[in-house]
Structure 1
Amino acid sequence: MPDQPTLAQFRATMLAAGYDEVLERVWAPDTVVDTHTHPFEANAIVVRGEMWLGENGSERRLLPGDRFHLQAHAPHTERYGPEGATYWVARRS
């Protein structure tokens, strides 16, 4: 696994890159979120658990240290593993 930043480091880097806010999102075990969009760009790193992100007809498994990036209004699905998951996400409107 690549070196994972601290939340403070991630926040500082993302805010310096022009993102508006940085949040910690904690998901309960086995949560499934059907196809949806967000009005913001999202740039995130998984820090605990596992999740699957579906986009453009494919789904990928993400583990701690993995990153994902979604453009605003991009349709996607999310599902979370049996232990749930936590990720830090930078958002830009």
Structure 2
Amino acid sequence: MNMPSFSAFRLQSLMEGYDEVLEHRWEPRTFRDMHAQPFAAKAVVASGEMWLTVGDLTRQLRAGDSFEIERDVPYAERYGAEGAVCWVARRHG
């Protein structure tokens, strides 16, 4: 898979109306229990792997995979043995 650069992800996200674009680095085996955020988000796993749980569905995501979460939707995250880097675009409005 040909993954875009962070700069390209950031530019595309801003053009789509997202107002904040970040790079998150997660430590190995980090777990975040079910929670919700006051913003919509789209993200790309840039390296490593993670498991995302929304409702009863858990997805394993690896480098190059992407996902979207609407605001106020509960979800949980678990990161792999090597941790992960995720690029995240947020829409607060």
Q: Which amino acid aligns with 1:49?
A: G
Alignment gaps of 5+ in structure 2:
none
RMSD: 0.5
Structure 1 match to 2:28: 29
Q: Is it true that 1:57 corresponds to 2:56 in the alignment? A: yes
TM-score by length of 1: 0.97
Structure 2 match to 1:39: 38
Report the Cα distance in structure 2 between the residues aligned to 1:92 and 1:14, rounded to whole angstroms.
9
Structure 2 match to 1:11: 10
Q: Which amino acid aligns with 2:48?
A: G
Report the Cα distance in structure 2 between the residues aligned to 1:6 and 1:26, rounded to whole angstroms.
16
**Residue by residue, what CA displacement relative to the aligned partner does 1:33-72 show, whole Å, maximum 9, x if unpaired?**
0000000001010001000000021100000000000000
Alignment gaps of 5+ in structure 1:
none
Number of residue pairs matched by the alignment: 92
Structure 1 match to 2:68: 69
Q: Which amino acid aligns with 2:59?
A: R
Report the Cα distance in structure 2 between the residues aligned to 1:24 and 1:75, rounded to whole angstroms.
21
C-alpha displacement of 1:79: 0.2
Identical-residue share of aligned pairs (%) = 48
